[in-house]
Amino acid sequence: MIMKTGFPLFAVLLVFGLLELSQAAHAEYPERPVKVIVPYPAGGIVDVATRIVTERLARNWGQPVLVENRPGANGNIGAAAVKNAAPDGYTLLVGSTFLVLNPLLDRNSKVSSEDFAPIGTLGIPPNLLAVPAASPARSLRDFIALAKARPGQLNATNPGIGSSNHLGTEVFSSLAGIELTQVNYKGQPPFIPDLLNGQIDFAFISAALAAPHIRSGKLRPLAVSYDKRLKSHPALPTVGELGYPEATVLPWTGFFVPAKTPAPITRRLAAELKKALQDAEVIRRNDALEAVNPDLFLEDFARFLDSETRRWRKVIAERRLQAE
């Protein structure tokens, strides 16, 4: 905003100048507002999961933490913006599985996980394997038997190529030796009506989106695609318990900074994130979202990213998932 008269502008500069001086004295990060770029639309699951943490960070730091939504091109636009930002810890990216998958699926992808230094994971709802209430399948074993009896005739959803739901469905089908027809949608919410009214027979669906329909009895969860049971569904087995540990496909999400960010800043950010995640209010809000967190920070997170890259390179080659 440009001021017309000289005086207010001067006053603003003066105030900022003084702030600058006073902060230079103890020069502790962060000394100005921090920007967090979410490469998805506002109000989506990743956006909500991010704001749960940024709100706590802003209070801990006494500095505004601005969440900026830069959706588009499956995360590439927001990620490219952070990749080119100054590596000073003031611009963070909320990265997700797309950082690993885009380079594997699209040769022209301009960003990859190697452009960033990982800070730590955020809480995110895992996927559930679910069928509509009218389905005769009472358990995952039932569903597999059903699908084997009718190969290619049952419909599953695919809310986006390379999404955790898509990959989860592929891996699970391959492990169980079943063949499902995948129907494409733009994101998860649009497929819910077709799943509830039975036109779709099976879905890998985010626990946050499935919860209200499970409670109203319209949707039946068969398993959770995570290595621990959910607090909200203690009776629901994990895919590992049912014999398909490989079908654990978490839409993991975490903070990243540009690759050249100095180590003291990444360590500081990781410690701050860890502290924020232990806050009672943050835990309560994450629970309400059905979120789980593998609690990976810095080096552990980096090792996890490497294993993800190896894992998906193999699956994509085996299942021929690359878009032409």
Partner 1 sequence: MELISHLGIGLEAILTWQNLGYCFLGVLLGTLIGVLPGLGPVATIAMLLPVTYGLPPLSALIMLAGIYYGAQYGGSTTAILVNLPGESSSVVTCLDGYAMARQGRAGAALGVAALGSFFAGTVATLVIAAAAAPLAELALKFGPAEYFSLMLLGLIAAVVLAQGDVFKAVAMVVLGLLLGLVGTDVSSGAERFTFGIPELADGISFVVLSMGLFGIAEIIVNLEQTNGRDVFTARIGSLLPSREDMRRSWKPALRGTALGSVLGILPGGGAVLSSFSSYTLEKRLAADPTRFGKGAIEGVAGPEAANNAGAQTSFIPLLVMGLPSNPVMALMVGAMMIHGIVPGPQVMEERPALFWGLIVSMWIGNLFLVLLNMPLIGLWVRLLKVPYRLLYPVILLFCCIGVYSVNNSAFEVGLTLFFGVLGYFFVKLRCEPAPLLLGFVLGPMMEENLRRAMLLARGDVGVFFTRPISLALLAASAVLLAILAWPRARKARDLAFQE
Positions touching partner 1 (CB under 8 A) are: 41-45, 47-48, 51-52, 55, 67-74, 76-77, 80, 105, 108, 110, 155, 161-162, 181, 183-186, 189-190, 192-194, 196-197, 199, 208-209, 211-213, 215-216, 284-285, 288-289, 323-324
Rounded least distance, CB 304 to partner 1, Å: 25
Rounded least distance, CB 173 to partner 1, Å: 17
Rounded least distance, CB 308 to partner 1, Å: 20
CA dist 256 to 32, 71, 265, Å? Answer: 18, 16, 12
* Contact (CB, 8 A) for 225 and 127: yes
Rounded least distance, CB 322 to partner 1, Å: 9
Closest CB to partner 1 among 115 and 270? Answer: 115
Q: Which two tokens stand for residue 109?
A: 């992808």
**DSSP letters along 11-57, please?**
HHHHHHHHHHHHHHHH--S-SS-EEEEESS-TTSHHHHHHHHHHHHH
Rounded least distance, CB 148 to partner 1, Å: 19
* Contact (CB, 8 A) for 94 and 39: yes
Closest CB to partner 1 among 213 and 244? Answer: 213
Closest CB to partner 1 among 78 and 118? Answer: 78
Which residue is it, tokens 């593998």? Answer: 294
Closest CB to partner 1 among 71 and 240? Answer: 71
Closest CB to partner 1 among 110 and 233? Answer: 110
List, in order, residues 6 or more apart from 275 with CB less than 8 Å away. Answer: 60
CA distance 45 to 50: 9
Rounded least distance, CB 189 to partner 1, Å: 6
Closest listed residue to residue 257, CA positions, set 90, 51, 117, 122: 117
Closest CB to partner 1 among 69 and 309? Answer: 69
Rounded least distance, CB 70 to partner 1, Å: 5
Which residue is it, tokens 């989506």? Answer: 44
Closest CB to partner 1 among 14 and 66? Answer: 66
Query: Crossing angle for the helix pair 164-176 and 298-319, nearest 10 degrees?
Result: 60
CA distance 72 to 252: 19
